[in-house]
Amino acid sequence: MAEKRFNNTLPLLGMICRQERLQLPLWLAGLAGFTLIVAISFTNLYTNERELQEIAQSMINPAVTALVGPGYGIDNYTYGAMMAHQMLGMTALITGIMNILLITRHTRANEEDGRLEMIRSLPTGRLSNIGAAMLTAVIINLLLAVVIGFGLYTLQIESMEWEGSLLYGAALGAIGLFFAAVTGLLAQLSESARGVTGFSIGILLLAYAVRAIGDVSNETLSWLSPFGWVLGTEAYVNNYWWPIAVTLGTAVIVTVFAFYLNAIRDLEAGFVPSKPGRKHASFLLHHPFGLAFRLQRTGIIAWGAAMLMFGAMYGSVLGETESFFEEIDMLQEFIQPEAGYSITEQFLTMLMAVMAMASTIPGVMAMMRLKAEEKKERSENLLSLAVSRNKLMGSYALLALLHGFIMLSLAGLGMGLAGNAVMEESLSVWGFYEAAVVYLPAMWIMIGMALFFIGLSPAFAGVTWAYLLYSFIVVYLGGLFQFPDWVTNLTPFGHIPQLPVEDFKLAAAAGLTGIAIILAAAGFISYNRRDIEG
């Protein structure tokens, strides 16, 4: 019976690998390449023990701890300890997203689009599809662990020895398999691919937030999060392997449960069924904007709660920033003192830039939904009615702009309310809000770019995500790696004045807004001229 349930799993595995022959190698190359480049950069940035120990002192800062994780090996802060501490948590977050998207594509998305029904009509077992998807996750995460582990060791950097390098890679592979298993389970519960992705990313962000709050306030709380487990390996310092066993063991248990639910449920059904809709459509659904909003309403609520929570989380640790930064000489190279402004206010600008890019993600996702609707041949149904292409694209563009504005506002308000509660010299909530919404022109460019590529050819829409990732790397690591000005100027976020330290620059905001309008206009023109996929 078990053999029949997994019948022809390997041919399905081959099919998935063929479908992913471009995406997964790019993910692997990106994660591995970025990790190795950062490791090499650390040796160029910090050339002696004094500099290493000075940067180690900044790791005690609760704001940094919440962002990257708890410091260990502080008394002897080697290159290996620095690498694992500052990079492992963020790389694990991206690895989790890679696995969530992978499993969703080949489980619930296949089912929702009717492809799984065609596969089931062939001599395949009930569990063959999910089995092939999970095997793909095992292969890519194993490759990731091996490539990064061996890659770090072959750099022959002092203190980055064999065992620590393998443990670093294993931690990434383990966290990837954990979120692959969670996504596989949620694919049995939710009836839509959108729901699976949303809930999976929600769990990932919640796990990251639990780890951050626990690392700052209560270490026991951190052990409730898989991010706390992998950071608890203390790679290159103590090299604990048992957290890897815990992570993999939990992933196996969750996977078995997902297989069980998949075996007993009906095709295209979910154990958490959607609520029955109204008998008659509401007035809002009479317009393309209302339909777009209804399709993304749950995502807007979920992202709004997440951004408010993350803003409050980072705001809550601003109160202790001043004392940790003012006596560390090396940090003065990254945050130059400005007359009349505290170190906390200057550090706030760095956090706000990161929050602004995080707030841009849901806005771009809202715009990308138009691409998904076209791919599923739903746009044709609307365009066959009295709905113009401009009205359809404009509805999604307006929703994306509103979505981004709401997320950015909630992040700024959350940080302002929590920050004022702990800062000795408080900044007004309006000051926090201004520091957030000043990034709107940069966000508009990212949404305009997504609109442009969707209008030109949906196949190139992924360039927008690559550009946003580039912006994040430049802004998040710009001070650390001391990138030249031209690198920062290639991203719109590099032209935004950092309030309240810098003055608002109307010319820069107008210029960025103008570029966003040009991109949007070109997108509308192209969308009206090209054929709709069908």
CA dihedral 216, 334, 31, 192 (to 10 degrees): 60
In Å, what is the CA distance from 316 to each residue of 82, 115, 213, 419? Answer: 25, 47, 10, 5
pLDDT at 177 exceeding the cut of 60: yes
In this prediction, residue 307 has a pLDDT band, given cuts at 50, 70 and 90, of confident
Q: How far apart are CA 241 and CA 97, in angstroms?
A: 23
DSSP, collapsed to helix, strand or coil, labels residue 431 as helix
Q: How much is the pLDDT for 428?
A: 78
Q: How far apart are CA 2 and CA 44, in angstroms?
A: 55
Q: Mean per-residue pLDDT for 485-494?
A: 85
Q: How far apart are CA 52 and CA 40, in angstroms?
A: 15
In this prediction, residue 120 has a pLDDT band, given cuts at 50, 70 and 90, of confident
Q: How much is the pLDDT for 385?
A: 82
| 312-326, 501-515, 517-531: which is most confident | 517-531
Q: Residues 381-398: pLDDT tens digits?
A: 888 888 889 999 999 999
Q: What single-letter DSSP state applies at residue 279?
A: S
Question: Residue 517 CB: number of other CB atoms within 10 A?
Answer: 13
Amino acid at position 251, single letter? A
More confident residue, 54 or 12: 12
Q: Mean per-residue pLDDT for 65-79?
A: 80
Q: Mean per-residue pLDDT for 316-324?
A: 61
In Å, what is the CA distance from 263 to each residue of 105, 115, 185, 270, 272? Answer: 19, 18, 12, 12, 16
DSSP, collapsed to helix, strand or coil, labels residue 482 as coil
CA dihedral 317, 322, 328, 334 (to 10 degrees): 80
Q: Residues 341-371: pLDDT tens digits?
A: 566 666 777 778 888 988 999 999 999 989 8
Q: How far apart are CA 235 and CA 231, in angstroms?
A: 8
pLDDT at 64 exceeding the cut of 80: no
Burial 392-414 (b: 16+ CB within 10 A, else e): bbbbbbebbbebbbbbbbbbbbb
**Which residue has tokens 């979120």?**
179
CA 373 to chain centre: 22
**Would you say 392 and 379 are in contact if contact means Cβ atoms under 8 Å apart?**
yes
Q: How much is the pLDDT for 379?
A: 83
pLDDT at 30 exceeding the cut of 80: yes
Average pLDDT, the chain: 85
Q: How much is the pLDDT for 432?
A: 84
pLDDT at 213 exceeding the cut of 80: yes
Q: How much is the pLDDT for 116?
A: 84
Tokens coding 28: 């692997």
Q: What percentage of residues in the chain have a pLDDT greater than 70?
A: 89
More confident residue, 178 or 354: 178
pTM of the full structure: 0.80
Q: Mean per-residue pLDDT for 168-184?
A: 96
pLDDT at 53 exceeding the cut of 80: no
pLDDT at 129 exceeding the cut of 60: yes
Q: What percentage of residues in the chain have a pLDDT greater than 90?
A: 37
Lowest mean pLDDT among 43-57, 98-112, 280-294, 399-413: 43-57
3-state secondary structure 98-140: HHHHHHHHHCHHHHHCCHHHHHHCCCCCCCHHHHHHHHHHHHH
pLDDT at 335 exceeding the cut of 60: no
Q: How far apart are CA 238 and CA 240, in angstroms?
A: 6
Q: How much is the pLDDT for 74?
A: 78
Q: Mean per-residue pLDDT for 327-333?
A: 49
Q: How much is the pLDDT for 425?
A: 65
In Å, what is the CA distance from 197 to each residue of 36, 101, 103? Answer: 29, 7, 9
Tokens coding 438: 């000043």
Tokens coding 350: 């760095």
Burial 175-190 (b: 16+ CB within 10 A, else e): bbbbbbbbbbbbbbbb
Q: What single-letter DSSP state applies at residue 156?
A: T
Lowest mean pLDDT among 37-41, 47-51, 264-268, 388-392: 47-51
